[in-house]
Amino acid sequence: MVSFAVHLSGTKYGCGVGGCGACTVMISTYDPVAKQIQHRPANSCLFPICSLHGAAVTTVEGVGSIKPRIHPIQERLAKCNGSQCGFCTPAMVMSIYALLRNHAEPSMEQVIAALDGSLCRCTGYRSITDSYTSFARKPTCCQLRATGQCCLDEEECVCSSSTGGWIHSGLCNTEEFPPVDPTQKFIFPPELTRMAQEQQRTTLIFHGKRTTWISPPSLKELLDLKAKYPKAPLVVGNTSVGMEGQKIFNYLVTVVLNILVSVSRNMVNSSNRSLIILPYFAFQDSKKNHHGAYHPIILHPVRIPEMHVVSSTNDGLVIGAACCLAQLRDILMEAVPKLAEEKTKIYRALLQHLRTLAGEQIRSMASLGGHIVSRGSTWDLNPILSVSKSVLNLASEGGKRQILLNDQFLAGCEHADLKAKEVIVSVLIPYSMKDDFISAFRQAESQKNALSIVNSGMRILFSPGTDTIVDLSILYGGIGSTILSARKSCEKLIGRQWNDQMLNEACRLVLEEIFLPPSALGGKVEYRRTLLVSFLFRFYLEVLHGLNQMYPFRCAELSQEKMSALGMLQSGVAQGVQIYQLRCVCSWDCHRPSILMSIFRTIHTPGQSPQDPVGRPIMHLSGIKHTTGEAVYIDDICPVDGELSLAVVTSIKAHAKIISIDASEALQVPGVVDVVTAGDVPGENGKDEQAYAEDKVVCVGQIICVVAESLTQAKCGAEKVKIVYEDLEPILTIENDQIYPSCSWRPPSMKTLQSPQAFFSSASSFLSLEGLSSLPTICCNVSTAVLLVLSTANINFLTVNLKPSLDFPIIIYVTGELHMGGQEHFYLETNSVLVIPRVEDKEMDMYVSTQHATDVQEFVASALNLQYNKIMCYVKRVGGAFSGKITKPSLFAVIAAVAANKTRRPVHFALERNMDMLITGRWHPFFGKYKVGFMNDGRIRAADFQCCINGGCTKDESELVIEYLVLKVDNACNILNLRVRGHASKTNLPSNTAFRGFEFPQAGLFVETCIVAVATQTGLPHEKVREINMYKGVNLTSFKEEFDAENLWKCWEECLDKSDYYSQKAMVEKFNTKNYWKKKGIAIIPMKFSVGFNATYFHQAGALIHIYIDGSVLVTHGGIELGQGIHTKMSQLSYCELKIPLSYIHLCETSTTTVPSGKYTAGSTGTEINARAVQDACQILWKHLDPIQRDNPNGKWEDWISEAHKQSISLSATGYFKGYVTNMNWDTQKGHAFPYFLFGVACSEVEIDCLTGAHKNIRTDIVMDACFTINPAIDIGQIEGAFIQGVGLYTLEEIFFSPEGEQLTLGPDTYKIPAICDIPEQFCVYLLPNSRNSIAIYSSKGVGEARFFLGSSVFFAIRDAVTAARKERGLPLAFTLNSPLTVERIRMACDDVFTEMECPQKCRISLQTS
């Protein structure tokens, strides 16, 4: 809660649309009618402030704090390593806290449901679920199954195991935690109870300048108000703001995060400091809604008893319109077991969607009436309510009436709609009947918390005892602007028998009636049309199965083939195993083989002191502060006197000249201080990329000018800035014909290549190799391979000499291509800067969320024409970065610094989520073409690769990225004759930048796709082709760097064993033979990852250590805490080097004032190079203290320090690490490009739904060669988090742009990252034992980026499942699957009769054989 009055910073502003959950708080209210206190989690970014009257708002500070004590929820999350960057952690705490306030002993399913509205980009979620298993009761059988089956009967049962249902992590023993203390629960303020009772009949009115909020206490008064103000909207939860992605009521979305209300200091300091009473609020000026209209009156009917009614009648359940969706779910869950099964079909269909609809925060606030009346096309419940013939109970001043919630109501037909003065009071949801069948369907990009691509409700009523259709209703959402009904089709089918002929006719009729034009809004036209008939087919089979259950002697049982089409894929509760090796450390001579730690207990290594923290799973130093909200990020810093805010004006053109900028109207806006443009920059306006656009813009989102003042006023001013453009032709894509116009392959010679051009050429002229002869095949006399890379401003190449072999008869070659989309970094903390100019000497303090403090210092100093020593940059922690905060924060720092320099006032600049995604760029989209020559035993003998990445409008990190792509493209595959040509194209999109792995995940997927192509051509198992081509023993890379592949093979064999690969593969094949419409796949993927950078200066690091007279130690270094636990590892190392308790050691923020000229923290080497510098400083200090220690060997640390001070011995030391010696000399064609290599293998198993394209991750086993990890808890957390992030890249995250170059996916509502439902049900991580790394400190390895690529094992497992489907359908097995493998791509690759129904003429199908 970021309030200038109370300074509660735990609640974070993440997205503003309720999609990430970072702003979760608990809202508690007293119901004077039911005499109960209700606790609900809520997205504070959506919650109307006036609706908080009489409510208690509990933030994370109210749950527990370091003083006086933390809550068990916080303790368990921290000690189970459930936080990394920590930005999302308070929301996780609040979600579980709200759950436990309502359910003291929840089920694990309820725990997962409570967390499905909160996103985490760092941890991979496994550690979070582990943290909260101890709060859950033992698992019970699920109650709801569309097929009537129990989840315990499934083959991959997640509820049963040898441990009684729960496999606990070796990193988290929840049995050691103390139980929940009931006294830690805050008491609901009695004054609020009294207020609710006293105001039970009082009308609450809040007046703003232009808007009045009215909360009537009775239905009669509401109807009077509605009659007086017929156009006044009714607002309950206001969640449609987030679900639509539009701020319909900006004046209502003045979030709890920014409450400007006077709260007494006494309340802040009391035990109830987080319970805030809001008796009054004055609105700001209201904004227009999406219709362009203002609402001078808003009605809030939440206190009306009739609108909260829950009753049972002879016809069904009556639910009040103001009941929230979570309440509806609980009501139905309670009702279903009590009613006859034939009556509950509608309720079970609703519950199916209520499991996945939005997140728990939205479900807890969104009302049933609001969901119905907003009539969104993708609203999941409305089609079910409509086909079930639900009744809306309406009321107005003139009386009451009932209308059907039917397709005409949903379409907004006037005769079937509400009248202007009417309100929905309640909804009658009828019971189903014996011969009734109702089904609900939806398919979204993600399993949960995602808007549907297509949803549907279907109902059929048969003549009793027959299969003759009496009534039929089919509705679809996601197809048009409203929910559409196939009314005409249904009418034609009445009287027909429920058989295959009817299905043929139904598919034809539906596709004719529900027409989706090729240019339909939202795209995915073929996929959405396929879902129309896929859902209908599944409904057909569900009804047949139901008829068989009712009349087994009359209706035939479904075949196993058709049974496989029933049921949706549902992920179970994730279980985890982590196995790692403890070690002896602090002496290079004590590397003893140690015992593997089991998942239940720790076995100490002989010779290692129990107090020695190195190699042990020590909790993150900031873990507790993460969970209590006391960890401070840039946006949490208390406002400075005179502080201004910035709002940016961004270009709306992808490529255009700036004719004029008119800021005159902006300067007239009250509160606006100034407008800052490029003309206000005293020095250099950025370098490769301009901070402020000057003469032209080269992408949508480029910053033109900034308006400075309070954020609200600055935004108003920014809207008034007028810019005139002159359009220029933009280049947006790197399409095939632009990159490779001749599509021909070249001989392995570079002498005929066209003249080298500058680093960037336009995409349309990229790699134009006209005039060169093509190579029709790769021949046996190939003796050289060419490695081409763009470096600096030239095209360089490396020729690798190879010995020709007599047994080198290449008889087969295969060609193909791969497209990969980009990926958003989606760090939870957006880019933020606080600049505080000092009074004298033109000094500036810069607080920046960055990975590269030195770069910020350099850019700002250059922009202000100052020496570097006048700019002080501080970074305490960063709320996620993933290489996305290396270059961009420096530009934002320049923008803020120039504004501060001009106004001489502090400036705070924090990008909102949509603006951050619009401006900052992302990972490079990739396109590659390959031609591979191989023998019939699968051995690859030659390969020719052409690779291109979309660099965007400036170079940024693209040069380094393309170099690494070319150097790393072989992955673990030893290709004797290899040519790689790489290029970064310049386009008019925001400049793309580095991401975790520096393009290795793209390169690795590319070469593994080639492996699949070879395996497909030869008919060999994929794992055998990988084995035969993997590096073996001591070997050379294509650039002549020597390495030993022994650990690569150890990881491979260990993963085969741990995953029980061959047995699992046999089970997968057996499953696939029995299931036509669902398929499983399995894949095992090796990895050779080169750690670090290919130049020595990137690896340098510095440290500064002070020992104070009391013996305490202050450690500073050049690395930045990004969530990877670098400070935690530095404290462990300092203990080991100085031999003092961890409690003596403190690490403060990273600053350019203590460690100058640091390199950026990235490339997996941040910890180890800074650790070397810290070690160096510690050793220097020990040299200073050595004489003192020798004179008093039995003395204490404090005695030695005191004596050293008396003897004037320096107790401060600077440590320095020059860096690993690396180089890549393109002239000599040789290099030691990387310090060392890291190996790993992942095996993943998945299941796909061939009818919808949905998939679930069943199991993943990862074996990593991490050598002796300094902190296994942190490293395993990094492995899991990066793996899930990789799963997002390869299967989920998709970016869309408009034809004009504007990004359309600008928040969690439109851009989906993995959620808690996307992690494998069994997630096992093993660190390879008895491994050594003589290069890095303490024989460790940097695992920060490598495991990202292992997420591709899920990609190839899905491909394996798709291949099984295609094989059974008689389709070609050589096919292209691009990344990400979204539901659309999976479904359309499983080509069948339904995907072919593109027009009615193709709708004749035969289903006797499926």
Q: What angle do CA 322, 326, 327 make, to 5 degrees?
A: 55
Q: What is the DSSP code (8-state) at residue 924?
A: P
How many beta carbons lie within 10 A of that of residue 162, not counting itself?
A: 6
How many Cα atoms within 13 Å fall on the side-chain side of residue 38? 19
Sign, CA dihedral 988-991-997-999, equals positive
Q: What is the DSSP code (8-state) at residue 997?
A: T
Taking phi over 0 as left and psi of -120 to 50 as alpha, with beta for the rest, 200 belongs to alpha
Q: How far is CA 1057 from CA 1051, 1242, 1360, in A?
A: 10, 12, 20
Judge whether 489 and 474 are in contact, CB under 8 Å. Answer: yes
Residue whose token pair is 């300067």: 667
Nearest to 505 by CA among 485, 487, 488, 489: 489
Judge whether 1290 and 1351 are in contact, CB under 8 Å. Answer: yes
Q: What angle do CA 1213, 1215, 1219 make, to 5 degrees?
A: 175
How many Cα atoms within 13 Å fall on the side-chain side of residue 1403? 22
Report the first-to-last Cα separation within the chain, whole angstroms: 56
Strands lying side by side in the sheet with 656-662 = 696-697, 656-662, 722-727
Judge whether 203 and 289 are in contact, CB under 8 Å. Answer: no
Q: What is the DSSP code (8-state) at residue 189?
A: P
Amino acid at 288: K
How many beta carbons lie within 10 A of that of residue 1062, not counting itself?
A: 13
Q: 1121, 1345, 1368, 1384: which one is catalytic?
A: 1345
How far is Cα 641 from Cα 421, in angstroms, rounded to an integer? Answer: 50
Can you give the three-state secondary structure of 386-440, one letter per residue? HHCCCEEEEEECCEEEEEECCHHHHCCCHHHCCCCCCEEEEEEEECCCCCEEEEE
CB burial class (10 A; 0-12, 13-18, 19+) of residue 988? buried
Strands lying side by side in the sheet with 703-709 = 674-676, 703-709, 644-650, 907-910, 832-837, 844-848, 871-875, 1150-1151
Percent helix, strand, coil in the chain, to 5, is 30, 20, 45
Amino acid at 1337: I
Q: 754 by DSSP, 3-state: which?
A: coil
Parallel/antiparallel/unpaired status of strands 1236-1249 and 1078-1091: antiparallel
- Give the gyration radius of the chain's Cα atoms: 32
How far is Cα 745 from Cα 776, in angstroms, rounded to an integer? Answer: 7
Would you call 840 a catalytic residue per the annotation?
no
Amino acid at 1260: T
How many beta carbons lie within 10 A of that of residue 1058, not counting itself?
A: 18
Nearest to 117 by CA among 366, 368, 350, 448: 448
Sign, CA dihedral 862-864-869-874, equals negative
Judge whether 769 and 800 are in contact, CB under 8 Å. Answer: no
**Token pair of 1067 as six digits:** 């089970």
Q: How far is CA 236 from CA 28, 318, 323, 371, 921, in A?
A: 15, 19, 9, 10, 37
- Residues tagged active-site: 1345
